[in-house]
Chains A and B, each alone.
Chain A
Amino acid sequence: MNAARPSLDRNFLNRFGILIALIALALVLSVTTDSFASASNLTNVARQVSINGILAVAVTFVLLTGGVDLSLGSVVALSGVVCALFAHPGEYPLVVPISMGLITGALCGLLNGVLVTWGGIAPFIVTLGMMTMARGLALIFSSGKPVADMTPSLTNLAGDLGPVPIPVLCFAFVALLAWFFLGRFRLGRHLYAVGGNEQAARAAGVSVTKVKLFAYGICGLLTGLAGVVLAARITTGQPNAGQAYELDAIAAVVIGGTSLSGGVGSIRGTILGVLLIGIINNGLDLQGVSSYYQAVIKGLIIVGAVWLDRRQSRS
């Protein structure tokens, strides 16, 4: 138990670094703008981060195993298009378009998993291929045009339930489930084991193939969910949507202290990372910062937050 103490403190500091950055940023924005700290704007931020949030939780599973998924953005577009194709008013009950979007995402994820495990191809390459393929399929299925005419019962899912936007509820539900799963379930802990040391995990009797298939499959399923939420939000299935979403998601996860080499990380950190990126985007728009500067500032804050985090955890 004594040996576990230092690593516990380190984890605490790990979280602390990002939290400081987050609080500092929120304080600065509350002082410099009169709109940031309002309830309606905070709801607004929550709504805007929910898609990136779902994707970040999704890719956390894969990053924990030491893999990576670059196909998130394209799979979001593909799932959104498939969902929209089944969502024309009066054609199918609501559950059909939603499940079709989820299934599409899950299939893409499972295919990634199969190619990584049984195919033995590096995740970077496999998911790079999927990124191109899914984008192409999205364009084929939609004939290159946005799929419009979606039933209001689906697009209403991007609306509010009482005071809370439904996409935020989706994100919260997904995050809670993932947090519970990674902490309490054996398969969840196996994800860490595989990412930490694959050989050791295998020697300990963990089925590495099963664990990885699961990670990529879940990642795909949640990406499908993000695609459905996005389609509902913009009321169309856009084949060109989701460009570079994977980068925002991976950035959020890494800011949250998850290691790109696997085995280390937490859902809590991912959520903080997602919030940090979301607040930066929102704050810069509120401040009326020109888009040229926005890009530079965003990059600096991302690198700065991670640097602060690493410094904290070393000291």
Chain B
Amino acid sequence: MRPTPRLAIGSMLAVLTIFSFFLSGCKKPAERKEGEILIGFSSRDLSAEYTAKLSEAIVEYAKTKPGVKLVMVDAQSDVQKQFSQVENFVAQKVDAIILNPCELEASTPAVDYVKAAKIPLVLVNQVTKSAGDSYIGSNDFEAGRIAMEAIAKKLNGQGGVLMIHGIMGTSAQLQREAGAREVFAKYPGLKLIDQQTASWDRAKAMALTENWIQAHKGKFQAVFAHNDEMAMGALLALERAGIKKDVTVIGIDAIAQALTAVKEGRLDATVFQDAVGQGRGSVDAAILLARKQPCPKENLIPFQLVTLENLSSFLK
């Protein structure tokens, strides 16, 4: 009695496999027109709000360029998955690749792989150990410095600060921390009371801040979170504990919810990272490289501090 269902499942799988081969085999190359530039874009994680904004800008901007076709895939923060996606782009012989790398170290092999295949490569928003042909992004060191500087100003250089890190080892976390540390070195009255990672995650940052409120209540006057998601988590915890008025909270990225929170006077400030500027810059660079035209090695889009005073220019 065993073989029959197995045979049925086996043949079903076989049919499915053949069917999917048929689909993937006939669809993609046929769509590619003569003289059209095909760009492959691997996004780090579409479920992260900033990355989603950046990816949307890339897709939308590419649509406005005649003779350019852009294919986007989502790596879901998985280095290994992103590497396979890059391999697939190389196998499809795309004209250029825009890579929004998952990590500083671990995504380096993917970059090397593309370079070995001699396909033009644009890195966006995150660097790797090996350089691509062009990097479009913003200097995260600056973001950390700007945010911490704003805290120092608000506290008049005196007080306790808690720092919530992003995923340890990502270039954004390392550089935002380094930027903040420079400010600590400048103001001896500014003390780092405690620091911990919340992995860019709102729920984790909220639980962490709740625990910190228990451990350090009254000893800190500011929370610096490496991104807005975590700043929102810290903000919610402080509000629920009824001590937000005593604590300055600043994040980075200027995601929609953070801007709304600044507008409502809940979040003290965020640092605007220009997703649309980065997205457009990376598409422009990819097209230049695909056409074998000269392209700058680096295009840094500046950060700006967003507070209640200058908010209106950032709200769409």
Kindly identify which residue among B203, B210, B257 contacts A47, using a CB–CB cutoff of 8 Å. Answer: B210
Contact B215 A288 (CB under 8 A): yes
Contact B215 A146 (CB under 8 A): no
Q: How far is the CA of A40 from the CA of B257 in the complex (A)?
A: 29
- B293 contacts A by Cβ under 8 Å: no
Contact A233 B211 (CB under 8 A): no
Q: How far is the CA of A235 from the CA of B174 in the complex (A)?
A: 28
* Chain A 210-247 interface 0/1 with B at a Cβ cutoff of 8 Å (1 = within): 00000000000000000000100111101111010000
Contact B203 A146 (CB under 8 A): no
Contact A233 B206 (CB under 8 A): yes
Known: A234-B202, A285-B211. A240 touches B256 (CB 8 A): no
* Chain A 115-158 interface 0/1 with B at a Cβ cutoff of 8 Å (1 = within): 00000000000000000000000010010111010000000001
Q: How far is the CA of A38 from the CA of B257 in the complex (A)?
A: 34
The binding surface of chain A is classed by DSSP as: loop
Q: How far is the CA of A36 from the CA of B232 in the complex (A)?
A: 25
- B117 contacts A by Cβ under 8 Å: no
- Which single residue of chain B is at the shortest CB-CB distance from A282? B211
Question: Which residues from chain B contact A233 at a C-beta distance below 8 Å?
Answer: 203, 206, 236
- A196 contacts B by Cβ under 8 Å: no
User: How many residue pairs bridge A and B at CB < 8 Å?
Assistant: 82
Contact B206 A146 (CB under 8 A): no
Kindly identify which residue among B196, B211, B213 contacts A291, using a CB–CB cutoff of 8 Å. Answer: B196
- A313 contacts B by Cβ under 8 Å: no
- B233 contacts A by Cβ under 8 Å: yes
Q: How far is the CA of A229 from the CA of B26 in the complex (A)?
A: 46
- A41 contacts B by Cβ under 8 Å: yes
Contact B215 A159 (CB under 8 A): no
- B73 contacts A by Cβ under 8 Å: no
Question: Which residues from chain B contact A285 at a C-beta distance below 8 Å?
Answer: 196, 207-208, 211-212, 215
- Which single residue of chain B is at the shortest CB-CB distance from A245? B203
Kindly identify which residue among A44, A290, A291, A292 contacts B210, using a CB–CB cutoff of 8 Å. Answer: A44
Binds A, one of B45-53, B129-137, B148-156: B45-53
- Which single residue of chain B is at the shortest CB-CB distance from A51? B203
Contact A234 B196 (CB under 8 A): no
Question: Which residues from chain B contact A144 at a C-beta distance below 8 Å?
Answer: 46-47, 52, 74
Contact B210 A48 (CB under 8 A): yes
Known: A233-B206, A235-B236, A241-B203. A35 touches B215 (CB 8 A): yes
Q: List 16 A-B contacts (CB under 8 A).
A: A44-B211, A48-B207, A139-B46, A142-B47, A145-B49, A145-B52, A146-B229, A146-B257, A159-B240, A234-B202, A240-B47, A241-B201, A281-B207, A285-B208, A286-B214, A291-B168
Q: A236-B202, A236-B257 are in contact. List 7 more A-B contacts (CB 8 A).
A: A38-B214, A44-B213, A44-B214, A144-B47, A234-B236, A243-B201, A285-B207
